[in-house]
Structure 1
Amino acid sequence: MTAHVRVPRGLRLPSDVVSDVGRAAFLTDVIAGLSADPKRIPPKYFYDERGSQLFEAITRTPEYYPTRTELGILTEHAADIARVIPDGAAMIEFGAGALTKARILLAASPVSVFVPVDISGDFLAGEAAKLAAELPDLTVRPVAADFTAPFVLPAEAEHRPRIGFFPGSTLGNYEPHEAAAFLRHAGQIIGPGGRLIVGIDLVKDVDVLNRAYNDASGVTAAFNLNLLRRINRELGGNFDLDTFWHRAFYNREHHRIEMHLASRVRQRVRVDGRCFDFRRGETIHTESSYKYTTELFRALAAGSGWRLAETWTDRDGWFAVHALVRA
């Protein structure tokens, strides 16, 4: 995995320099998170190459409804969603992953330039190459970047109407103030008059939510534990994965699923020469996934400079795809 580095257009930094910058940011966040009380690590660090592959496997488990439900909405309403996209637009997908959902909109809409942005650069490059081969009339320009921070759009996306695409209920992984900050950040990238299509997981039966993050096959557990494996590999950690277990549950008070890595024993762990003590049962909070009502999301969007223009949901009301317009 590499981090995006802002450099003058046409200048390429050596790969070892980019990797060093990415490692430094990763190390800083891990040291800060393990020093905090309670301990926590940002979920963006799940997504090394193996983490990205495991997440794609999660989306295929029978318990994990968000992906197939959102895909159903996008497929059923593709023509309606396409009507909010201007002709010749540049579509910017934040946290692009495997591009599965983008393909549905790109096939139905008048997009000329597609800019998938993802922190997992190697994985993104492979998926973007596949898409470019499938849609030869579409200009595909991937950007390896932390999409929550400023990044440079490719020249082909300039001087075009822009539309953002943020599927997968990823916005729910942010604390509400962070979600508002991201929406403002996206608005700056998309620009005046821009639009944003965003997927949002809705409040629903607690049993449905808990099963979705505790699949019987253990893929989500492997995804969560892979974060420790990555710390060991890239940051000189010595986590014993057998002494941690995946814990996920719905927090009713905050309307969110919480994912944790819980220590089975009292232990001391080392990362890059720094030591961190764990009590038995102490956890690292690795992810939150907030669930919204349409009314709550409308208020969040309005406070972040966006107007909710259209909403499409599935028949069960489990998931929503919203079209936002810059206010």
Structure 2
Amino acid sequence: MKPGIEWRQPRASAETQQFAADLHAALSRAPKSISPKYFYDETGSRLFERICDLPEYYPTRTELALLRTHAADMASHFGPRAQLVEYGAGALLKVRLLLDALPRESVQFVPVDISGPHLLAACDGLAGDYAGLAIQPLVADFTRPHTLPQCPAGSRRIGFFPGSSIGNFTPAEADAFLRLAAAELRGGGLLIGIDLVKDHDVLHAAYNDADGVTAAFNLNLLERARRELGAEFPQDGFEHLAFYNPAYRRIEMHLRATRPLDLQLGGEIYGFHEGETLHTEHSHKYTIAGFQAMAARAGFQPGAVWTDPKQWFALLWLKASST
């Protein structure tokens, strides 16, 4: 910080304060890395919706095709009445295909997402299209302790976690989430999407689209830090980097410094050398058998599997023990 300049922390919500604390921690460690959950402010959420429509980004259209074809079969595993909990709910597009396969009066829908304004706007749209559907949105980080609405009498609690978002977790984080979900969904089950191991060129294209939307999505994380936290760094100081790391079976996304630079945050200065990165996301790719084994260790009983003809993506039904 320059001499004579007093830094004033803006009044901040608890979420903004947590973002600041986590970004300080990310910039202090070596190598630098931060959770991808901070992509999803209003701008980031809109950019991700655009990514889902890109020709290179196969996961969304493949998963949607599976849901359109098999939603009734998937819903048959839920039981006659359900509290349907969508983790990381976002725009609430995919869940509509499940809701269309369920009697409306038999479902209470609980979408959970960290981006409050985006979630509530999506819920307004859903309520307009699904008159009579009981919707109880929960603004929360579903990977942290949270309290779901009480499950209605006679209903089973069913989790829905589409989009292969589980791949954004480290193996330890994925195990922790599955254990949390197994306890939270006791007596019900989890319908979860996973991205499967495939040709590296297909993966590279999906995260390096020709229109640069994924790059803008990645770069928005630091732009969010500029807007919300007063972070200072050169406007063209970082570039998008995404590649497949075969050792970990994952795509990695980074923000790479284009030259030696300083990033100032809350009175602290964090230096980057040219080419140094802030690791913003990884997306693990699974085999069906490998993921089922991980789910079983966490307390689920693997069940039905739905996948596409190319074996690029899968939706798995995992039954949660009642004990």
TM-score of the aligned structures, taking structure 2 as reference length: 0.93
CA distance in 1, matches of 2:165, 2:233: 27
In the other structure, the counterpart of 1:69 is 62
SS in 1 for 2:91: coil
Q: How do 1:34-183 residues align onto structure 2 when only pairs under 5 Å count?
A: 34-110=27-103, 111-155=106-150, 157=152, 160-183=155-178
What secondary structure does 2:236 align onto?
A: helix
**Shift of residue 85, structure 1, vs aligned partner:** 0.9
Residue 309 (structure 1) aligned with residue 306 (structure 2): no
Matched-pair contact (CA < 8 Å) for 2:208–2:215: yes
RMSD (Å), alpha carbons = 1.4
CA drift of 1:218 comes to 0.1
Corresponding residue for residue 280 of structure 1: 274
TM-aligned CA distance change 1:181 to 1:225, over 3 Å: same
Q: Does 1:187 align with 2:182?
A: yes
Question: 1:156-210 CA distances to partner (integer Å, 9 max, x unpaired)?
Answer: 65763100000000000001111010011112222x2120000000000000000
**Counterparts in 2 of 1:157 and 1:176: CA distance versus 1, 3 Å:** farther
Q: Percent identity?
A: 52
Kept in 2, the 8 Å contact 1:229–1:239? The answer is: no
Does residue 258 of structure 1 match 2:229? no
Matches of 1:32 and 1:22, distance apart in 2: 15
Q: CA offsets per residue over residues 186-245 of structure 1, 9 Å max, x none?
A: 12222x212000000000000000000000000000000000000011112012241110
User: Following TM superposition, where does structure 1 have runs of at least 4 consecutive aligned residues deviating by more than 3 angstroms?
Assistant: 155-159
- Alignment partner, residue 219 of structure 2: 225
Alpha carbons 1:33, 1:39 under 8 Å: kept: yes
Per-residue deviation, 1:20: 2.3
TM-score, normalised to structure 1, is: 0.92
CA displacement at 1:109 relative to structure 2: 2.1
The Cα offsets for residues 46-85 of structure 1, whole Å up to 9 and x where unpaired, read as 0000000000000011000000000000111111101101
Query: Counterparts of 2:236 and 2:182 in 1: how far apart (Å)?
Result: 43
Residue 23 of structure 2 corresponds to 30
Asked if 1 retains the 8 angstrom alpha-carbon contact of 2:81 and 2:154, the reply is no
Cα 1:159/1:273, change in 2 over 3 Å: farther
Of 225, 230, 234 in structure 2, the residue corresponding to residue 236 of structure 1 is 230
Deviation at 1:153, TM superposition (A): 1.6
Please give the alpha-carbon distance, in whole angstroms, between the structure 2 residues aligned to 1:71 and 1:142. 23
Listed as ranges, the gaps of 5+ residues in structure 2 are: 1-9
Q: Match of 1:168, SS?
A: coil
Rounded to whole Å, the distance in 2 between the matches of 1:51 and 1:76 is: 30
Letter in 2 for 1:258: E
| Residue 202, structure 1, aligned to residue 157, structure 2 | no
CA distance in 2, matches of 1:236, 1:284: 18
Structure 1: where are the runs of 5+ without partners? 1-15
Question: Aligned to 1:324, which of 310, 315, 318?
Answer: 318
CA contact (8 A) 1:229 1:241 kept: no
